[in-house]
Structure 1
Amino acid sequence: MSDKAERRAAREVVAAYHEAELGALVARFGEAVDRYRAGDLDAFDVDRVLFQYSRAAKELWKYCNYGQVEIVADIIRAQPPHGWWERGAPRQRS
Structure 2
Amino acid sequence: MASKAERQAARDCVAAYHEARLGELLEHVGRALDRFRAGQLDAFEVDAVIHQYHRAAQRLWTFCGESSAQVEAAAHLIEDMAGAGEVIDWWQRGMSARARRAEGPDA
TM-score normalised over the length of structure 1: 0.91
Question: 1:35-67 deviations in whole A, cap 9, x for unaligned?
Answer: 000000000000000000000000000000155
Corresponding position of 1:51: 51
Aligned to 2:72: 70
Gaps of at least 5 residues in structure 1 are none
Secondary structure of residue in 2 paired with 1:29: helix
TM-superposed deviation, 1:13: 0.3
Match of 1:90 in 2: 96
Moved segments of 4+, more than 6 Å = none
Matching residue's letter, 2:54: S
The alignment of Structure 1 onto Structure 2 pairs a total of residues equal to 93
Report the alpha carbon displacement of residue 69 of structure 1 after superposing the two structures with TM. Answer: 1.5
Unaligned ranges ≥5, structure 2: 103-107
Matched residues in 2 for 1:51 and 1:68: separation?
26
Report the CA distance between 1:7 and its aligned residue.
Answer: 0.2
What is the Cα deviation at residue 71 of structure 1?
1.5
Q: Which has the higher contact order (CA 8 A, sep 6+)?
A: 1
Identity across the alignment (%): 53
Q: Quote the Cα distance in structure 1 between the aligned partners of 2:13 and 2:23.
A: 15
Q: How far 1:68 sits from its partner (Å)? A: 2.0
1:55 aligned partner, one-letter code: R
Question: In the alignment, is the contact (CA less than 8 A) between 2:55 and 2:94 conserved in 1?
Answer: yes
Please report the TM-score for the alignment, with normalisation by the length of structure 2.
Answer: 0.81
